[in-house]
Chain A
Amino acid sequence: MSFRKRSVVLNTSGGNNPNPTTAASGAPPSTPPTPPAKGVRPSFLTGVPTTSTGTASLDALLSGHEGLPLGSMMLIEESSTTDFAGALLRYYAAEGIVQGHNVVVIGVGEAWGRELPGLSDRKEDNEDIKKKGKEERMKIAWRYEALGNRRTNDSSPSLQMGTDASEPISLFCHTYDLTKRLTIPSSSKPPTYIPPPPPTSSSPFSSILSALYAILSTASSTNTITRVLIPNLLSPLFYPPSSSHPTHLLQFIHTLRSLTRQYSHILTIMISFPLPLYPRTTGLTRHLEHLSDAAIELHPIPTFLARFEMTKSSSSSTSTDDIPQGLVKVWKAIEGKKGTGIVGNSSKGDGSGGVVGMEGGDDLAFMLTRRRMRIERFSLPVDEGDDGGDGEHKAHNPSSTVGEGVGGVETGKKMHKVDLEF
């Protein structure tokens, strides 16, 4: 669908333009090189080159792009002292290393990089995710799924072979196992670390920026895809107090934003930001969100876990994978196409539907298991709540064990149902 629309626009602008070379000369040479770099594929939505965040379900959330468009900056906020955002960032870094990208980690030491998750060797993980993703997308927007298949096959013809021969190099997004540690393949560069600002500095971010300029100008000359990570921006553990001054921080972020545009053919940035220290009710955080291209918040809710632990003990069929640990809120979605101002909406037909930038649209949840992190529609706990009610009923029921067993099966059915109904 987006195909047709786009071609119409192109034709029209060509027709309107008395002299088509104007537009051609005004436009910079299109960024995707003929053989796309490893780990880069065109967006399913608009065709802009995208790269994976390392988390398949997060890719699926990005306004139908199915990947993080190059030249964008993503902000992951975490409203608790937990480190779920750190997991997302580590996947993002690990994916970069596996794909041979340039990975730059700002502010934290090398110890951070030692905990990158290793590639999962469980075959079923890959297949499971692919199957599941396919199933869901088939239900939700079959036409995009078809498009996706074609694109995937185009960009990586060896995909099938790759998974079969357990050689996942050609995958766009790999599956990682948090219980493992990533061994950096010989073909990849180890991450570059930029130290946090010195404690006494009048312009705390200038040293980071000048290091970044140097890295980017070399990466740009070799056309190496670069991923910049800033874990726990402004965390007092790493950053001096002066860095949280609005002019310093926002200048830094503004400069990063302009760098993503300048190096839009190679650069993506992912930042995690602790909300307990800088709540969303402050202007600072809001400016930060305005300057990012996408902003999501991870909002851990420990009670989900507790509730699920309870139900788990009664019905062993509930897999730990289905326990949400919190909600995901999308405050700002990546724009559907550069410059349109259109964020993902129902027409994209995927999970980004309804949650886009909508305050109160809490229908995504994240699940971090020992092995991987997923973001999914948040519909189960409602059922669980009902179930809890049932459980109380059952407490009065003399045949409680049987009742619970049935309840467990019902839960399974319900889950399935919820999965089906979009």
Chain B
Amino acid sequence: MSKLPTPSEILGQSFHFLPQESQLLLITSVLGTSPSWLTYSLLHHSLTNGENVVFVSFINEFAYFREGGKRHGLDLPSHLKKGTLTFIDGFSRLFLPSAPSQAPSLPPTASAPPRVGVIPSRGGPITPRQTQQPQSAATSTDPIKYISLGPSPSPSALRQLDVIKSTLQKLGSTGVKPKLVIEGLEVLIAAAGVDVRVVEDLVYDLREISSTTTILLPSDSVLLQTSPSSTPLELSHANLVISLGHTADAILSLRLLDTGVAKDISGVLKVTRGAGNLGETGGIVEEKEMLFYESDAGVRIFARGSGGH
């Protein structure tokens, strides 16, 4: 089995102070680095400790994480079955015409109906039904819930996102708030045209009903550095990343090695303390910069100059 660094190795001892109310952990990455291993590390930690995790992805399907998790010795399907993991798939059907829950686990047949023409008003009447349906379907057969905004997302279609909220609330009603991992929020802004304030509001709402929220976002300089010629696309992305960065309790950022290409280094992992309230509760995120290397044998993090051997 390939080895992954544990969250406390990454975040320092203060990680143990993390599982509190509405913590926010921001993970940023650039093109060419994949933050998946950080996700697996966090999931592994939470799931083996028996915590409930709600995992939302707008850019990958469950099979992707299933395969990746398997490689790192993380059996996501069994956690899914046990109910400790809830996967909300905002990727597979996000812009497909809302398909009723028919054979969702059989991909090849799933998109047979979308041949139907694209009618903008379609989102309206269907929305309420859709919000109910994934839930009922989820409890009965398919543990994966789907978000579908339809081919031309209207503001009313955003109610689809409530499935995240209701899932969290349902899990939280037992007393312990679940953890939340969201990947690909940028898709909502960039592709679905959702206003950045709506997304930020959504994050705040979700943080209230979850314990630790982990958000993964791309942070390429192209997307963050705004100039007078920036389009709303870049401005709203920068807005989202920066505002989340300012409220986060810790920021993990992955980037490529500044000096170019190295054979035994995949990139740089930087841990930064956010402006959040972690300090008040005893834990302090130790700010540091480490190198990481992803290989067949797993991921290793090591200090600069230690060679990683």
Contact = CB atoms under 8 A, between A and B. Distances in A.
Given A246-B191, A287-B233, A331 B31 contact: yes
Given A9-B70, A246-B233, A361-B261, A261 B31 contact: no
Contacts of A290: 31, 59, 186, 218
A157 B117 CA distance: 46
A346 B264 contact: yes
Contact of B187 (A23, A250, A357): A250
Interface string B64-106: 1111111111010110110000000001111110000000011
Interface string B237-257: 100000000000000000011
Interface stretch (A78-86, A91-99, A334-342): A334-342
A355 B297 CA distance: 21
Contact of A23 (B77, B107, B186, B263): B77
Contact of B222 (A2, A12, A286, A347): A286
A359 interface: yes
Contact of B296 (A1, A10, A253, A354): A1
B100 to A, nearest CB: 16
A261 B61 contact: yes
Contacts of A339: 36, 63-71
Interface stretch (A174-182, A206-214, A313-321, A367-375): A206-214
A345 B267 CA distance: 12
Interface string A241-257: 00000110011011101
Nearest to B116: A210
Contacts of B231: 246, 282-284
Interface stretch (A14-22, A183-191, A382-390, A394-402): A14-22
Contacts, number: 226
Interface string B177-200: 000000000110011110000000
B152 to A, nearest CB: 6
Interface string B103-123: 001111111101101101000
B105 A28 contact: yes
A263 B107 contact: yes
Interface in B46-72: 59, 61, 63-72
A296 B67 CA distance: 25
A208 to B, nearest CB: 11
A284 B183 CA distance: 19
Contacts of A200: none
Contacts of A259: 111
Given A17-B75, A203-B118, A283-B190, A261 B256 contact: no
B223 interface: yes
Contact of A287 (B68, B190, B260, B294): B190
A287 B186 contact: yes
Interface residues of A, number: 78
A286 B220 contact: yes
Contact of B64 (A202, A332, A338): A338
Contacts of A247: 190-193
Contacts of A353: 263
A283 B237 contact: yes
Which of A12, A17, A333, A354 is packed against the most chain B CB atoms within 10 Å?
A12
Interface in A1-59: 1-2, 5, 8-10, 12-13, 16-19, 22-23, 26-28
What is the interface of chain A mostly: helix, strand, loop, or mixed?
Answer: helix
B295 interface: yes
Residue in B37, B64, B111 with the greatest tally of chain A CB atoms within 10 Å:
B111
Contacts of A355: 261
A333 B266 CA distance: 13
A251 B191 contact: yes
A124 B154 CA distance: 59
A289 interface: yes
A255 B96 contact: yes
A357 B32 contact: yes
Contacts of B105: 28
B76 to A, nearest CB: 8
B77 to A, nearest CB: 3
Nearest to B1: A12
B289 interface: no
Interface in A124-141: none
B67 A246 contact: no
A217 interface: yes
Interface string A189-228: 0000000000000110010011001101100110000000
Contacts of B286: none
A230 B150 CA distance: 23
B174 to A, nearest CB: 23
A214 B115 contact: yes
Given A246-B233, A254-B95, A346-B264, A22 B110 contact: no
B169 interface: no
A26 B80 contact: yes
Contacts of A254: 59, 91, 94-95, 187, 191
Given A261-B92, A353-B263, 16 more contacts: A1-B296, A23-B75, A247-B191, A251-B95, A251-B191, A258-B92, A287-B186, A287-B223, A287-B233, A338-B64, A339-B64, A339-B70, A341-B35, A343-B266, A354-B263, A359-B32
Q: Which 9 pairs, one residue from A and one from B, show the smallest C-beta to C-beta distance?
A: A357-B32, A339-B68, A26-B77, A341-B36, A341-B34, A339-B67, A250-B191, A346-B263, A283-B234
8 contacts: A23-B77, A206-B152, A246-B193, A254-B94, A283-B190, A283-B230, A340-B67, A360-B260
